[in-house]
């Protein structure tokens, strides 16, 4: 048999795997399956009758038959042939595996519908079979129905059907090539339910392709942005139409590299309305792990951030009021009381010398109380309203920290500084105060440096574009990168304060190299 020519069944290699069989789609490899069964039948008949004139031809026919059977066994589809009574004439290995039978002998001759189709589906399946036998392929060329395995489990199979004719044109068999689509249909049902949830979600959900264009928007995202899918497509489809381009690009690149991103972004709708959104992005992959793009979820936190800003403003306003009351009320009252006690002490030197020492002690306690009241007042209301108010307050913060902590703390403000509103100056001071406190508590630092400087253009004399506050320590740093929104209460509060005045807050940290907190306020 070494000189045997290539068998016809090998001329077309079997398909790599099953593909979906639907009403208008025929799986790859089904047509060859339907064509091979008659050939297999003819060869079996010739071999059984022994009519081949030469032994070598008989061997060739057997070789071709075996290869046809091998092809039908290796194809990723279930192949079943039924006679006019619905009895099984042929089933391939894949069919045996699906039905839970070790060999086709357990299936051949069985009534297919009564044995392998659930009772509730038998009438419909019998109607398809009768339509095929009557030659009504338009009605019965494809269908889906459940089959029952030997263990009683039901599997959903998508069939593509064909009829085989003899020399006279009469139908002698019905052949079905099917694909087990049980898991696929379950997945499609699951995806449909997910799709319904996405469509009904209050958060704006979009899918961005790997080239950076939006390919899907749920109704909530359409409402948030003011764009319909058609209008977005007409405008070119980039997310930068409504998400701050810098943040959007950062989120896209970080997600493609790391798999996910979380952060805040400004969203501009088609009518110009600005929203603050919490943006969460994750990679979207197919079953083989190939990147299809990313999913972006937009949660509108505008009202939340506005409320946080109002709470911060109210808190600071109350602090300032208490500070003023302490300074103008209690401290002044204590100063007056001290003056009275010192006057009594002078009189006591001549009228009651034994009371002088006690009166001097009382005057000292009152003086200390007044100083403490002033210190508390300055802490509650640290920033004055003049041009140097913030710089002076930061200088006092550095001096106080340097005097009372076991480290060196310095402040520098090179160049002329622009005037700020009381709210902006107060929030920047509180950010610096929180950053210094974090460094004292957690960094193990030996030095802390505060700087406040104007950011200007390259041309000499150009007005300041932004004010940048930097707090740098030389402590232990962080083992992993951290965004302010991901940290503890102190870091989150700094982020809220920065956002309340339209500033950006960045955290730079490496293990063993300290932490840099940088707040940039555009002017």
Q: What is the pLDDT of residues 465-492, one digit of tens each?
A: 888 999 999 888 775 555 555 556 677 7
Lowest mean pLDDT among 26-35, 386-395, 424-433: 26-35
Q: Write down the pLDDT at residue 73.
A: 65
What single string gives the DSSP state of each residue in 210-264?
TTS-EEEE-HHHHHHH---HHHHHHTT--GGGTB-HHHHHHHHHHHHHHSEEEEE
Q: What are phi and psi of 294, to 5 degrees?
A: -145, 155
* Residue 11 pLDDT class (50, 70, 90 cuts): very low
Mean pLDDT over 391-414 rounds to: 88
What single string gives the DSSP state of each residue in 154-220?
EEEEEEEEEEEE-TTS-EEEEEEEEEE-HHHHHHHHHHHHHHHHHHH-SSEEEEE-TTS-EEEE-HH
Contact between 239 and 227 (Cβ < 8 Å): no
- Dihedral (C-alpha) 201, 202, 203, 205: value to the nearest 10 degrees? 40
Token look-up 């600071």 returns 316
Better-predicted residue by pLDDT, 47 or 160 = 160
Report whether pLDDT(283) > 80.
yes
* Residue 276 pLDDT class (50, 70, 90 cuts): confident
Q: What percent of the chain has pLDDT over 70?
A: 78
Average pLDDT, rounded, for the chain: 77
Q: What is the pLDDT of residues 131-181, one digit of tens each?
A: 888 888 777 788 888 999 989 999 999 988 888 887 788 888 888 888 998
Lowest mean pLDDT among 349-358, 435-444, 452-461, 512-521: 452-461
Q: What is the pLDDT of residues 425-466, one digit of tens each?
A: 888 988 998 888 888 887 788 899 999 998 876 566 566 788
Q: Write down the pLDDT at residue 289.
A: 81
Q: Write down the pLDDT at residue 345.
A: 83
What CA–CA distance (Å, rounded) separates 195 from 216?
Answer: 12
Q: Write down the pLDDT at residue 87.
A: 93
Assign residue 86 a region (left: φ > 0; alpha: ψ between -120 and 50; beta: otherwise).
Answer: left
Better-predicted residue by pLDDT, 70 or 413 = 413
* Residue 378 pLDDT class (50, 70, 90 cuts): low
Question: Distance between terminal CA atoms of the chain?
Answer: 90
Token look-up 């574009």 returns 465
Q: Write down the pLDDT at residue 203.
A: 92
Report whether pLDDT(60) > 70.
no
Q: How many CA atoms are closer than 13 Å to the CA of 466, on its beta-carbon side?
A: 13
Better-predicted residue by pLDDT, 508 or 148 = 148
Question: Whole-prediction pTM value?
Answer: 0.49
Lowest mean pLDDT among 13-17, 412-416, 424-428, 498-502: 13-17
Report whether pLDDT(23) > 50.
no
Better-predicted residue by pLDDT, 484 or 255 = 255
Q: Write down the pLDDT at residue 13.
A: 32
Lowest mean pLDDT among 61-70, 267-276, 291-300: 61-70
Q: Write down the pLDDT at residue 298.
A: 92
Better-predicted residue by pLDDT, 435 or 27 = 435
Q: What is the pLDDT of residues 73-128, one digit of tens each?
A: 666 788 888 988 999 988 888 888 899 988 777 898 999 999 999 999 999 999 98
* 33 CB-near residues (< 8 Å, 6+ apart): 72, 75, 77, 79, 175, 177
What CA–CA distance (Å, rounded) separates 265 from 493?
Answer: 17
Q: Write down the pLDDT at residue 162.
A: 86
Which range among 65-69, 245-249, 407-411 has the greatest average pLDDT? 407-411
Angle at 139 between CA 134 and CA 141, to 5 degrees: 90
Mean pLDDT over 200-225 rounds to: 86
- C-alpha distances out from residue 475 to 243, 304, 436, 506, 514, Å: 36, 34, 12, 17, 4
What CA–CA distance (Å, rounded) separates 277 from 299?
Answer: 5
């Amino acid at each position: 048999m070494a000189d045997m020519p290539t068998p016809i069944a090998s001329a077309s290699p079997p398909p790599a795997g099953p593909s979906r069989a639907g009403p208008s789609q025929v799986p790859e490899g089904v047509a060859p399956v339907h064509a091979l069964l008659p050939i297999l039948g003819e060869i079996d008949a010739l071999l059984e009758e022994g009519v081949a004139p030469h032994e070598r031809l008989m061997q060739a026919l057997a070789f071709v038959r075996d290869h046809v059977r091998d092809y039908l066994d290796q194809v990723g589809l279930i192949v079943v042939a039924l006679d006019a009574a619905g009895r099984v004439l042929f089933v391939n290995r894949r069919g045996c595996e699906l039905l839970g039978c070790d060999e086709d002998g357990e299936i051949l001759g069985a009534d297919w519908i009564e044995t392998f189709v659930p009772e509730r589906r038998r009438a419909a399946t019998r109607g398809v079979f009768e339509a095929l036998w009557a030659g009504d392929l338009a009605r019965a060329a494809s269908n889906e129905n459940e089959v029952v395995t030997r263990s009683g489990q039901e599997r959903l199979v998508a069939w593509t059907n064909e009829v085989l004719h003899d020399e006279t044109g009469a139908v002698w068999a019905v052949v079905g090539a099917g694909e087990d689509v049980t898991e696929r249909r379950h997945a499609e049902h699951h995806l449909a339910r997910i799709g319904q949830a996405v469509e009904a979600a209050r958060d704006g959900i979009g899918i961005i392709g790997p080239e950076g264009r939006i390919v899907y928007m749920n109704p909530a995202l359409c409402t948030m942005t003011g764009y319909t899918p058609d209008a977005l497509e007409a405008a070119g489809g980039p997310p930068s139409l409504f998400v701050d381009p810098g943040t959007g690009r950062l989120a896209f690149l970080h997600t493609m590299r790391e798999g996910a991103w979380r952060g805040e972004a400004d969203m501009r709708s088609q009518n110009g309305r600005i929203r603050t959104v919490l943006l969460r992005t994750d990679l979207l992959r197919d079953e083989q792990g190939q990147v299809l793009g990313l999913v972006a979820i937009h949660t509108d936190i505008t009202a939340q951030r506005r409320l946080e800003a109002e709470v911060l403003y109210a808190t600071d306003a109350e602090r300032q009021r208490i500070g003023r009351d302490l300074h103008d009320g209690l401290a002044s009252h204590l100063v007056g009381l001290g003056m009275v006690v010192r006057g009594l002490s002078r009189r006591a030197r001549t009228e009651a010398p034994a009371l002088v020492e006690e009166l001097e002690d009382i005057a000292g306690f009152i003086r200390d109380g007044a100083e403490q009241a002033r210190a508390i007042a300055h802490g509650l209301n640290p920033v004055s309203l003049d041009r140097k108010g913030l710089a002076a307050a930061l200088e006092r913060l550095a001096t106080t920290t340097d005097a009372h902590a076991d480290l060196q703390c310095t402040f520098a403000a090179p160049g002329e500084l622009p005037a700020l509103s009381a709210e902006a100056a107060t929030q920047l001071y509180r950010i610096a105060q929180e950053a210094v406190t974090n460094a004292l508590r957690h960094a193990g630092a030996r030095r802390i440096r505060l700087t406040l400087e104007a950011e200007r253009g390259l041309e000499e004399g150009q007005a300041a574009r932004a004010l940048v506050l930097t707090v740098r320590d030389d402590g232990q740093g962080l083992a992993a990168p951290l965004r302010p929104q991901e940290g503890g209460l102190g870091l989150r509060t700094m982020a809220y304060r920065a956002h309340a005045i339209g500033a950006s807050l960045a955290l730079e940290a490496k293990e063993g190299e300290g932490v840099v907190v940088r707040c940039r306020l555009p002017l």
